[in-house]
């Protein structure tokens, strides 16, 4: 088993290395103009330069902040609202259909509304990111709370558990696999929307950096920004699945 | 009544009162009468087994005793008080143990759920958990999650949690129905010795006639459509019971025959 895993890891590294080599080759042969496509060497140099003078670090922190605050608001509101809707059968059957109707509404449609309400501000970004990221979480929580084993509620009744205890000791842990997978989806959505908002509102962050670099034909800086966005997406997803594994140990543990 | 006195020493004054009482209980569910005019007295410390063909209303009767259902007419009482909702001193062991345990809590955590709810101080819980897990034969499995335990172990765990409620009455719905014969006989003996110590009243639902006779002080058989009491037999077999000698006792064989004929007639 472990051997196979190691082999897979090696293979995926080889693929990544091969792609980077191909990229370098294309750049060196100038198949695409260097104005648009820097080689990995130049992108790497731009990355180092950006970090040594601190600008890229600031932008990265800016994007992380936008993403994280929006995601946090979405999580708190989404889980609380989802718990309320999901734990009552009546609420589920009345509210869930309208949620399903609202969900496919592209977030881009509410960006003008948000701009009209908040202007080109951090508040607008927070609103848009939270609004976009709330759906996966809300729907997952509603589903999770609705799918709690009824037998466990009977155990709770027989023990005379308080309403609060039922929520925190039974419903929430039971819904946690759904909630966590919703949170993971939302994290990706948050990153995308953080970049969109930075571009639209000129907020300090990697989105804005990428836009400015593109306008100034600084393709190496542009690629450095894009690479950083990729890394943020990858690392946060990885962190999330590690948290997930830790929290959901009881589910994977077999015989 | 002698059979009860044989099992445990209960003051005779206690025997006059009934602990769980059904009086002319009828229950309709989904426009159908499921239980009809059932009257039944269960004495403190009595071990009552309920048998009957599949779908005759055994589970429904047990849920009425637990306060999980309210009768359409008639009433159920516990220690003389009407049973309007589940009570903490009436514990219920569900047949589907896999669904009745918290999969995200270890064995110790599942027992702790009951202790937390009865308000036992945190410092006292570990000792009590150890004691309960030992009682049901799971002393070395405190840190295991239910998914890591066999069916028999999960059912023991559910029984441990129910005992943590310190129940006056234990209601068990085919608790060993899904287990293999060997595990089943082992658990039967364990339950008997556990309950000898706790003096709890028991209502035990099973469709296994031999299990009912082996365990009970009394066996009640239900007739189906709608569920009614069709037979009510005292079991005068000596205690402690033994898997070999009790099952070979001529009285055991006679009772088995009588119940077998009852079930056959009820299905006809
Ligand atoms: N909530 C309900 N609504 C309508 N009918 C029900 C409901 N619960 C049970 N019944 C019906 O009541 C009858 C008795 O059900 P019950 O589960 O009590 O039977 P049982 O004796 O426990 O059967 P088994 O041996 O299969 O467990 C069945 O015919 C069943 O279909
Ligand atoms: Mg049943």
Q: Rounded mean pLDDT of chain A? A: 88
Structural domain count of chain B: 2
Of B166, B190, B218, the position where a domain reaches its end is B166
Q: What does the pLDDT read at residue B6?
A: 44
The residue whose C-alpha atom lies closest to atom 22 belonging to ligand 1 is B59
In chain B, % of residues over pLDDT 90: 78
Taking each continuous run of H as one helix and of E as one strand, the counts in chain B are 11, 10
Give how far A243 is from chain B: nearest CA, Å: 15
Exposure of A41 in the CB half-sphere (CA atoms within 13 A)? 8
**Statement: residue A41 has pLDDT above 90:** no
Segment B51-61 shows an average pLDDT of: 94
**Statement: residue A165 has pLDDT above 90:** yes
Q: Determine whether the interchain pair A157/B85 forms a contact, defined as Cβ–Cβ distance below 8 Å.
A: yes
Q: What does the pLDDT read at residue B82?
A: 94
Contact A89, A95 (CB under 8 A): no
In a domain, B54, yes or no: yes
Same domain, B198 and B244: yes
Instruction: Tell how far CA B251 is from the center of its chain.
Output: 23
> What is the CATH classification number for the domain harbouring A168?
1.10.3720.10
CB < 8 Å from B in window 221-250 of A: 248-250
Give how far B265 is from chain A: nearest CA, Å: 34
Structural domain count of chain A: 1
Segment B157-164 shows an average pLDDT of: 94
**Statement: residue B176 has pLDDT above 60:** yes
In a domain, A18, yes or no: no
Q: What does the pLDDT read at residue B203?
A: 97
- Closest residue in A to B116 (Cα–Cα): A161
**Statement: residue A158 has pLDDT above 90:** yes
pLDDT per residue as tens digits for the range B230-245: 999 999 999 889 999 9
Domain hosting residue A73, numbered range: 37-253
Q: Determine whether the interchain pair B104/A255 forms a contact, defined as Cβ–Cβ distance below 8 Å.
A: no
Q: For residues B27 and B61, what is the distance between their CA atoms, to the nearest angstrom?
A: 9
pTM of the model: 0.84
E-strand stretches of chain B: 20-29, 32-42, 47-52, 73-78, 81-82, 90-93, 169-173, 201-205, 218-223, 228-234
Residues in contact with A229: Cβ distance below 8 Å, sequence separation at least 6, in sequence order: A63, A191, A195, A206, A210
pLDDT per residue as tens digits for the range B15-48: 568 999 999 999 999 999 999 999 999 999 999 9
Q: Which of A152, A173, A250 sits opposite B147 (nearest CB)?
A: A250
- With bands split at pLDDT 50, 70 and 90, how would you rate the model's confidence at B1? very low
Strand partners, B227: B35
Q: Determine whether the interchain pair A165/B117 forms a contact, defined as Cβ–Cβ distance below 8 Å.
A: yes
Domain hosting residue B137, numbered range: 102-166
Q: What does the pLDDT read at residue B175?
A: 92
Same domain, B248 and B146: no
- With bands split at pLDDT 50, 70 and 90, how would you rate the model's confidence at B4? very low
Q: What does the pLDDT read at residue A169?
A: 95
CA nearest to A69, candidates A127, A146, A20: A127
- With bands split at pLDDT 50, 70 and 90, how would you rate the model's confidence at B2? very low
In a domain, A55, yes or no: yes
Q: What does the pLDDT read at residue A1?
A: 58
Contact B196, B203 (CB under 8 A): no
Q: What does the pLDDT read at residue A151?
A: 94
Token pair, residue B160, equals: 């441990």
In a domain, B235, yes or no: yes
- With bands split at pLDDT 50, 70 and 90, how would you rate the model's confidence at B14? low
CA nearest to B164, candidates B204, B214, B126: B126
In a domain, B62, yes or no: yes
Q: Determine whether the interchain pair B99/A253 forms a contact, defined as Cβ–Cβ distance below 8 Å.
A: no
Q: What does the pLDDT read at residue B3?
A: 42
**Residue A175 main-chain phi, psi, to 5 deg:** -85, -5
Q: Determine whether the interchain pair A251/B86 forms a contact, defined as Cβ–Cβ distance below 8 Å.
A: no
Q: What does the pLDDT read at residue A94?
A: 87
Exposure of A60 in the CB half-sphere (CA atoms within 13 A)? 18
Segment A7-36 shows an average pLDDT of: 85
Q: Tell me, what's the ipTM? A: 0.88
> What is the CATH classification number for the domain harbouring B247?
3.40.50.300
Q: For residues A86 and A147, what is the distance between their CA atoms, to the nearest angstrom?
A: 9
Q: Which of A169, A253, A255 sits opposite B113 (nearest CB)?
A: A169
- Closest residue in A to B97 (Cα–Cα): A151
Same domain, B155 and B176: no
Is A211's Cβ below 8 Å from some Cβ in B? no
Strand partners, B204: B49, B172
Q: What does the pLDDT read at residue A40?
A: 85
In a domain, A136, yes or no: yes
In a domain, B259, yes or no: yes
Q: What does the pLDDT read at residue B131?
A: 93
Contact B69, B92 (CB under 8 A): no
A31-45, A77-91, A148-162, range with greatest mean pLDDT: A148-162
In a domain, B6, yes or no: no
Contact A83, A167 (CB under 8 A): yes
Q: Rounded mean pLDDT of chain B? A: 90
Segment B187-201 shows an average pLDDT of: 88
Segment B225-231 shows an average pLDDT of: 93
Segment B80-93 shows an average pLDDT of: 94
Q: Which of A149, A169, A254 sits opposite B147 (nearest CB)?
A: A254
Same domain, B178 and B208: yes
């Amino acid at each position: 088993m472990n051997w196979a895993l190691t082999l897979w890891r090696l293979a995926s590294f080889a693929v990544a290395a091969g792609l980077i080599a191909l990229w370098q080759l294309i750049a060196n042969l100038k198949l695409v103009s260097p104005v648009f496509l820097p080689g990995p060497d130049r992108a790497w140099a731009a990355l180092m330069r950006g970090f040594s003078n601190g600008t890229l670090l600031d932008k990265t922190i800016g994007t992380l902040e936008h993403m994280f605050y929006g995601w946090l608001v979405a999580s708190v509101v989404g889980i609380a609202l989802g718990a309320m809707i999901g734990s009552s059968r009546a609420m589920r059957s009345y509210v869930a259909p309208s949620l399903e109707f609202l969900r496919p509404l592209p977030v881009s449609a509410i960006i003008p509304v948000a701009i009209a309400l908040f202007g080109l501000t951090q508040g607008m970004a927070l609103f848009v990111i939270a609004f976009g990221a709330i759906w996966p979480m809300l729907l997952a929580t509603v589903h999770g709370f609705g799918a709690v084993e009824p037998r466990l509620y009977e155990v709770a009744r027989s023990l005379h558990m308080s309403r609060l205890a039922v929520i925190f000791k039974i419903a929430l842990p039971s819904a946690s696999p759904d909630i966590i997978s919703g949170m993971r989806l939302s994290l990706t959505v948050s990153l995308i929307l953080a970049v969109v908002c930075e571009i639209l509102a000129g907020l300090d962050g990697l989105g804005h950096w990428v836009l400015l670099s593109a306008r100034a034909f600084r393709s190496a800086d542009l690629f450095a920004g894009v690479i950083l966005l990729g890394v943020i997406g990858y690392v946060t997803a990885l962190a999330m699945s590690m948290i997930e594994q830790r929290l959901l140990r009881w589910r994977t543990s077999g015989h | 009544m002698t059979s009860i006195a044989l099992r445990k020493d209960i003051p005779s004054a206690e025997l006059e009162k009934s602990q769980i009482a059904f009086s002319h209980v009828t229950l309709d569910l989904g426009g159908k009468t499921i239980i009809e005019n059932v009257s039944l007295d269960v004495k403190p410390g009595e071990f009552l087994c309920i048998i009957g063909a599949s779908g005759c209303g055994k589970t429904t009767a047990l849920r009425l005793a637990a306060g999980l259902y309210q009768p359409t007419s008639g009433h159920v009482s516990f220690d003389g008080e009407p049973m309007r909702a589940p009570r903490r001193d009436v514990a219920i062991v569900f047949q589907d143990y896999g669904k009745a345990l918290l999969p995200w809590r270890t064995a110790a955590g599942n027992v702790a759920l009951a202790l937390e709810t009865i308000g036992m101080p945190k410092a006292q819980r570990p000792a009590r958990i150890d004691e309960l897990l030992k009682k049901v034969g799971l002393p070395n499995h405190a840190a295991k999650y239910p998914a890591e335990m066999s069916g028999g172990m999960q059912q023991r765990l559910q029984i441990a949690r129910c005992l943590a409620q310190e129940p006056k009455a234990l209601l068990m719905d085919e608790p060993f129905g899904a287990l293999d014969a060997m595990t089943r006989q082992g658990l039967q003996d364990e339950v008997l010795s556990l309950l000898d110590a706790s003096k709890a009243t028991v209502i035990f639902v099973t469709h296994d006639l031999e299990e009912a006779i082996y365990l009970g002080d009394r066996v009640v058989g239900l007739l189906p459509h709608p569920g009614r009491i069709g037979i009510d037999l005292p079991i005068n077999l000596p205690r402690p019971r033994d898997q070999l000698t009790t099952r070979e006792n001529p009285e055991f064989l006679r009772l088995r025959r009588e119940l077998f004929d009852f079930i056959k007639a009820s299905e006809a």
